[in-house]
Structure 1
Amino acid sequence: MLTSSLVLGEAAHTGINTGDIVFQLVMFIILMLLLKKFAWGPLMGIMDQRAQHVASEIDAAENSRKEAQKLLDEQRNLLKEARNEAQGLIENARKQGDIQREEIIATARSEAERLKESAKLEIEQQKEKAVVAIREQVAHLSVLVASKVIEKELSAQDQDKLINDYIKEAGELR
């Protein structure tokens, strides 16, 4: 019997102990339930919160990028408009300069023409004065020559009458 109890004892030690397996399985399930309730649930909650936070940060970054792109486009458009406006102002100033230059040239030409006409008129007046002066001198010299020839002195009244007659004659011959 001893051999059979030894054999049975050895068989008990070498065989599968189902009680230990069931106990370990129950403990493992309890441990899994406890882990799920106290560790896995809160950990997954934290992970979900972290995932939501990261997603919201990504969305915010994307919105910020879109907003920055929109502002950049607006700034580019404003800069383009400012350049076009500046170009327009430059072109307008250039046109105004051309107009003013033409006005100044026209004014200078008209002033030069006016001065030319004024000079012509003054020359004509001076010429007339010179002709009158020469006529008077010629008349006076003629009277002197005539008085020398006649050898008589004329009175001032006779001299003026003779000069005027001579001037009339010279004017008619002209």
Structure 2
Amino acid sequence: MPESNAPSPENGQPIVTPAAPGKSDDVLARLDTLAGRFESFLKTVAPGTLKSTGTGADGADAASTSLASRLTPRMLACLFLAGVLVAGLAIVSPQQLPVAGYKLCLVVLAGLLGYWLDRWLFPYARPDGYLAREWRAHGRDYPDSEADYAVVPGYETVFAAALLRRALVVLGAMLGLGLGL
């Protein structure tokens, strides 16, 4: 016998029922639809940035790959783990979600600040200045025996030091902001 004060369509309140075990296909279909919409948005905003993998009438690639298929397994595992941790935080202590978001924003801003500090402090010793070729000027069509982005011969140690210097400046900014607040 149903209770008289239970939500029903007659009183205008929606009926909320827990998801059935077979509803995960619905969620996956929705996620795929959202990923497709995001891809089409990217195509309109920045055309030519997405690679095509389908075959067209002329035998060339015409359709684009899905966003999920381009994620590497390592990054997909990290994304899944982050989602599980956020869901766990939401279940255990939902009032901490804004605090976690605030801290995440601070860490990202500190990373950007550290990057720009390095660029401002060392304008003539940027790590990409030691590469043999401009890294944006070519694709990744190197043979297996050659590095993706070759360093000028004789500057390998200086290149490594510039990379470590930038990493330490960014780390210092992130630690300083994270420990200071």
- Choose 1 or 2 for highest CA Rg: 1
- TM > 0.5: no
Higher share in helix: 1
TM-score, normalised to structure 2, is: 0.28
